């Protein structure tokens, strides 16, 4: 009978998944939930889900009474030469996957709903966005901070869940929430990886078979940096030199940046310690991939010896 009850519960949850396309409808629902004393958990996404997204949703399911996700490919965080139009999209696939992990609602607005005519207000988080992707992708974090502020005002969550794969983004959101006195808990979740260590990303679908093998240079070089630190190496320059050499030993790779920075300020560090992390952005073919590792934390990936 317990199994039958579980099956009924899962079926009922799938049947009651709600989809909101307008800001007003989503805000009205959030207001009703708060009036009922419900705790709202929220996972913002750009869709085309992989297991990493689903892990964030599973955590959100644990953290709230009502789990909302958003699917919105945010144009303000893409540069003019970036892949906005080519970014993969498949709403029906995403809806099915969201149902399976127990999502209660999807906020799925269009561009005009989020950025109506004469839109002119943006959010800038300054210091922590200057380095890494902030330097490489001008305006990117202004777009991220703006859309997240809007989403928080629309969904009205008590808790939001982000992945640590984009560590700078996580720090940016935490800084913004602190500075603007937003009453939201931020949960950072470990990077979800493929069986061979590659960080899961919606952009992985762009990789050819040969490029997919070269993409492993990111996670494997992080493992190399981790082993050097555990062996006593604290000179950031020496660690980065080995990481660079390793990545460049693979075909189709072009390093955008490889840096060691402080976890709180994102400023570059000269010495490696548990208050620092190594961050990578590498073009593999035409696909830009990112990955990172906070020194002192677990990095459980297979690593081939002898390369």
The residues annotated with a catalytic role in the active site are 53
Give me the sign of the Cα torsion angle 228, 229, 235, 240.
positive
**Angle, vertex CA 75, rays to CA 260 and CA 132, nearest 5:** 10
CA distance 118 to 141: 21
DSSP string, 93-152: HHHHHHHHTT--EEE---HHHHS-TT--------GGGSSTHHHHSTTHHHHHHHHHHHHH
Q: Is 228 helix (H, G, I), strand (E, B) or coil?
A: helix
Q: Of 185, 246, 241, whose CA–CA distance to 220 is shortest?
A: 246
Instruction: Name the strand (E) or helix (H) holding 254.
Output: strand 253-262
Q: What is the 3-state secondary structure (H, E, C) of 24-76?
A: HHHHHHHHHHHHCCCCEEEEEECCCCCHHHHHHHHHHHHHCCEEEEEECCCHH
The 10 Å Cβ neighbour count of residue 127 is 12
Contacts 24+ apart (CB under 8 A), 19-25: 19/95, 19/105, 19/106, 19/108, 20/105, 20/106, 20/107, 20/108, 21/108, 21/109, 21/110, 21/113, 22/109, 22/113, 23/109, 23/113, 23/114, 23/154
Q: Of 201, 262, 274, 192, whose CA–CA distance to 234 is shortest?
A: 274
């Amino acid at each position: 009978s317990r199994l039958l009850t579980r099956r009924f519960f899962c079926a009922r949850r799938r049947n009651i998944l709600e989809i909101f396309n307008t800001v007003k409808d989503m805000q009205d629902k959030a207001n009703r939930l708060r009036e009922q004393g419900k705790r709202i958990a929220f996972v913002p996404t750009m869709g085309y889900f992989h297991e990493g997204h689903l892990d964030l949703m599973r955590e959100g399911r644990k953290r709230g009474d009502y789990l909302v996700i958003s699917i919105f490919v945010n144009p303000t965080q893409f540069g003019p030469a970036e892949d906005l139009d080519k970014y993969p999209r498949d709403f029906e696939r995403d809806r099915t996957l969201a149902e399976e992990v127990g999502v209660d609602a999807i906020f799925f607005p269009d561009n005009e709903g989020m950025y109506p005519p004469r839109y002119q207000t943006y959010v800038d988080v300054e210091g922590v966005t200057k380095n890494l992707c902030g330097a490489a992708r001008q305006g990117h974090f202004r777009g991220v901070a703006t859309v997240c502020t809007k989403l928080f005002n629309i969904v009205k969550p008590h808790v939001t869940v982000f992945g640590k794969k984009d560590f700078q983004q996580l720090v940016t959101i935490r800084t913004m929430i602190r500075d603007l006195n937003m009453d939201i808990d931020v949960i950072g979740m470990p990077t979800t990886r493929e069986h061979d260590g590659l960080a899961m990303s919606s952009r992985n679908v762009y990789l050819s078979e040969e490029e997919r093998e070269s993409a492993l240079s990111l996670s494997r070089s992080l493992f190399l940096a981790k082993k050097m630190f555990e062996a006593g190496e604290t000179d950031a320059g020496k660690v980065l030199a080995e990481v660079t050499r390793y990545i460049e030993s693979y075909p189709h790779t072009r390093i955008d940046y490889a840096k060691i920075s402080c976890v709180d300020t994102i400023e570059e560090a000269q010495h490696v310690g548990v208050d620092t992390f190594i961050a990578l952005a590498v073009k593999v073919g035409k696909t830009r991939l990112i990955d990172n590792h906070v020194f002192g934390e677990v990095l459980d990936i297979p690593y081939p010896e002898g390369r």
